Structure 1
Amino acid sequence: MSDSIQSDRQGGGLGDENVVRSDLDNPKVLFERASLLREIVSAQMEKLPEGHIFLVVINIADTNHYDDIIRTFGYKFADDLLNIRLADLLFIHKNQSFFHVGFWSIGFIYRSGTAGEANSVWPLLNDALAKPLICRGIPISIAAGIGVCDLMKSPIAAEDLLQATYLAGQTAAASPTGWAECNYDHANDHRRAFTLISDVSNAMTTPGEFKLAYQARVTLRTGKADAVEALLRWHHPVLGRITPDEFIPLIEATGLIRDLTFWVLSYAISQAAKWHADNHKVKICVKISTKNLEEDDFAGRITALLELHKFNPEFLELEFSERRSFANPSIARSRLLELRAMGVNVSIDDFATGKDSFRTLANIPANFLKIDRRVIKFLPDNLRYQALVRSMIHMAHEMDIQVVAEGVETFAVQEMLQAWNCDFAEGYLINWPMPADAFISWFAETFPRE
């Protein structure tokens, strides 16, 4: 293989849009992924006295780059680029079977005498693929990533192994070498993620799996409680405690986020209504997904819940993370305006961690802004972060938006925020998240009713 790479590179054939284009019409040139899985299983069963068999997955481009090409040149141009890249691969290794692995990804099986020989091939392959593609006379630079796996050593199933090698190729695209060996932990992560997503629906109907914990928010000027945040917790029966940072992004990628958000809202509003009936009248804050704002009936479902529990909408605050982008900002804005018109409060969570914080602040009708804990934690020793937070507080107040500092854990930070006229604080300095019964006992003792 290395000889063919060298000769083709010297001949200058790579990147020529006319190369082997006629072969691309042959259905045997690019086989399906299922065929590659069978090849992997077969290779794993081979007992070679010497030599190695490798799975190679080439990620031709990441999805963002592909989208840029589509927006600029159109789908036909993008398809032509894929065909040209496949022609390059046919030049590099003639008589090789290639397989469609995924979105702009191609895989194949490579046999070599030794692992060292193979490791000398991957850089040559990367060099060959690094040349700009010439499509319709336009040079296009695409950073390919090469994932490799020694099938003679692989201890995992073919599907998981293919996933791990694919992920190695994604990682490799940003590395100096352009190639990377697969990490078997990636396959374990893939199985774990699939298990979690598969178990979400059952967790919503099984008592004790999903639970809400509650954390108070206080007014920095008076020290009195202003609101209570409902935080989702998951204790999986097999995997144990799962953090929201792990399971929420997985669920947001599916339609399950609609049902899960409604589950949280139902329990949180129901609990807050009980506290109000006992004269503990504080706002309840609930995190929602930006995906929820794409739902036509989202505001209607909120209205139905509020009416069911006879709960004043002014005591409900919905938070969405600035780290999650809107699929359609104009629709999201419309939904939020509808909620604000109902009397519901809107908060931008994790502020200062998104790609376009100030545009979000300017265009989203929020009346609360929550500065992310990853910013707050640097305040004691970092003058730049201090200046940044002071500026954010001042800017928000100029826009008639109240400011919440997340992750307040020391009196020193609390005093800084008070001096800068920050409105509210939440964090471990005030209280750790607690189950409902423990929380209301602590709350009643800490903030006695007047």
Structure 2
Amino acid sequence: MDAGHAAQAARQVLQALSKPMDLNELLLHVDCSIGITLFPGHGSDPDALLRRANIARYSAKCSAEKIAVYAGSLDSDNAQRLILMTDLRRAIDGDELFLLFQPKVKIRSRAISGVEALVRWKHPEQGLMSPNQFINFAERAGLITRLTYWVLAAAVRESHVWHGSGQAVPIAINLSSHDLRDPQLMEHVLGSLETWGGSPDWIQFELTESCIMDDLSAAQHVLMQLREAGFKIFIDDFGTGYSSLSYLKRLPVDYIKIDQSFVMGLDEDADSAAIVRSIIELAHSLNIEVVAEGVESKVVMDMLERWGCEEVQGYCISKPISGHDFQSWNRAFV
């Protein structure tokens, strides 16, 4: 048998597992990733073949087909991932991470309504790293919960500083689907606030549509707990996931944030304008307020105001800035 035959066998396994499994009348959908090695080209003993098949499996998880044949370069890639995992764990423990804050503003009053906390990593060799470079990796490496706890603690600490200077506004932090399955999430949230003498109006939470739909039941339970404790809930990047408001009827949501891909260039794209206007109207029919992301011009802001959008966020207001710079910016903005 060659690699082609092995891949065909793997596809048959994937097809068999693609059917939902009935467990006590609960349909479970199973995801599978398959790594392939061939004797003797990829190893002459079972241990080497299994180890390299596992390396290929990690590559398969990132592919569309969910199947990957081992290649020598994967060993190097795997070593780099292990190094990055060690570096990220050290960064979380050693405070190599830091937060930037992007303000949100109420359109009609031009009052600052809050900020979104954005985590950055100053890697000692690779320099400044954006979330796109390490958030997904943190999820795959099992470090996302520790990262969320770090962001939560840093945001509450910053809020304490802002309250002391009279410049306090709510800070929104992002939660992942892993966080929604964390049984200790509420304990850490309330514990962080207690440590700094804070209250629920210090912190808000943002979740994407895909994060919620990954486990709607868990999301519903956690969001209800957060709402009952007094926290505001935002659905982030709305329009890029399931693009449906039907699930929002089941969730305690205060705001939706229209994804910037619909908002940027809104004044030049009639299709985007129609989508944004419809989202605003539908959200209001469910008593949900709207934040538009990616606002870069006064023209777009004026259009959003006419349509009844409550808040905006984007470079027209401010780029992400440090906590210290936010205090100066806040005083100047007011």
TM value normalised by structure 1: 0.62
Report 1:26-425 matches (<5 A): 58=7, 60-61=10-11, 65-69=15-19, 71=21, 103-108=33-38, 163=55, 167=59, 173=65, 190-207=78-95, 209-355=96-242, 357-425=244-312
Report which structure shows greater RCO (CA 8 Å, sep ≥6). 2
User: 1:161–1:187: 8 Å Cα contact kept in structure 2?
Assistant: no
Q: How far did 1:380 drift?
A: 2.7
User: 1:411–1:429: 8 Å Cα contact kept in structure 2?
Assistant: yes
Partner of 1:6: none
Q: Secondary structure of the residue that 1:441 maps to in structure 2?
A: helix
Mapped to 1, the partners of 2:236 and 2:134 lie a distance apart of 18
C-alpha change, 1:201 and 1:162, in structure 2 (3 Å) is closer
Q: Secondary structure of the residue that 2:194 maps to in structure 1?
A: helix
Q: How far did 1:386 drift?
A: 0.8
| AA aligned opposite 1:263 | W
Alpha-carbon displacement from aligned partner over 1:349-406 (angstroms, at most 9, x marks no partner): 1111113643442322110111111222252322121111101111111111111111
Q: How far did 1:72 drift?
A: 7.5
Q: Secondary structure of the residue that 1:108 maps to in structure 2?
A: coil
Partner of 2:45: none
User: 2:36–2:70: 8 Å Cα contact kept in structure 1?
Assistant: no
Q: Secondary structure of the residue that 2:296 maps to in structure 1?
A: coil
Mapped to 1, the partners of 2:229 and 2:99 lie a distance apart of 25
Mapped to 1, the partners of 2:217 and 2:60 lie a distance apart of 37
Q: How far did 1:300 drift?
A: 2.3
C-alpha change, 1:300 and 1:64, in structure 2 (3 Å) is farther
Q: Secondary structure of the residue that 1:324 maps to in structure 2?
A: helix
Alpha-carbon displacement from aligned partner over 1:140-188 (angstroms, at most 9, x marks no partner): xxxxxxxxx9xxxxxxxxx8899579858986959xxx9999795x766
For the pair shown, which has the larger CA radius of gyration, 1 or 2?
1
| AA aligned opposite 2:190 | T
C-alpha change, 1:398 and 1:240, in structure 2 (3 Å) is same
User: 2:106–2:112: 8 Å Cα contact kept in structure 1?
Assistant: yes
Mapped to 2, the partners of 1:332 and 1:202 lie a distance apart of 30
Which one of 325, 329, 332 corresponds to residue 442 of structure 1?
329
Q: How far did 1:199 drift?
A: 2.0
Query: Structure 2: 5+ residue runs without aligned partners?
Result: 24-31, 43-50
C-alpha change, 1:252 and 1:162, in structure 2 (3 Å) is closer
Alpha-carbon displacement from aligned partner over 1:6-57 (angstroms, at most 9, x marks no partner): xxxxxxxxxxxxxxxxxxxxxxxxxxxxxxxxxxxxxxxxxxxxxxxx9996
Partner of 1:430: 317
Q: Secondary structure of the residue that 1:241 maps to in structure 2?
A: strand
Q: How far did 1:109 drift?
A: 5.4
Alpha-carbon displacement from aligned partner over 1:400-443 (angstroms, at most 9, x marks no partner): 11111111112222122112111111111111111211221122
Q: Structure 1 stretch 263-272 or stretch 196-205: which is displaced more?
A: 196-205
User: 1:236–1:242: 8 Å Cα contact kept in structure 2?
Assistant: yes
Mapped to 2, the partners of 1:169 and 1:391 lie a distance apart of 36
User: 1:55–1:107: 8 Å Cα contact kept in structure 2?
Assistant: no
Count of matched residue pairs = 319
Mapped to 1, the partners of 2:183 and 2:68 lie a distance apart of 45
| AA aligned opposite 1:58 | A
Mapped to 1, the partners of 2:11 and 2:62 lie a distance apart of 9
User: 1:213–1:231: 8 Å Cα contact kept in structure 2?
Assistant: yes
Query: Structure 1: 5+ residue runs without aligned partners?
Result: 3-53, 74-101, 112-148, 150-158
Mapped to 2, the partners of 1:253 and 1:179 lie a distance apart of 17
| AA aligned opposite 1:237 | P
C-alpha change, 1:62 and 1:239, in structure 2 (3 Å) is farther
| AA aligned opposite 1:202 | R
C-alpha change, 1:371 and 1:261, in structure 2 (3 Å) is same
C-alpha change, 1:66 and 1:253, in structure 2 (3 Å) is farther
Mapped to 2, the partners of 1:206 and 1:231 lie a distance apart of 18
TM value normalised by structure 2: 0.82
Mapped to 2, the partners of 1:354 and 1:183 lie a distance apart of 36
Q: How far did 1:305 drift?
A: 1.5
C-alpha change, 1:222 and 1:296, in structure 2 (3 Å) is same
Q: CA RMSD in A?
A: 3.6
Mapped to 2, the partners of 1:104 and 1:369 lie a distance apart of 37
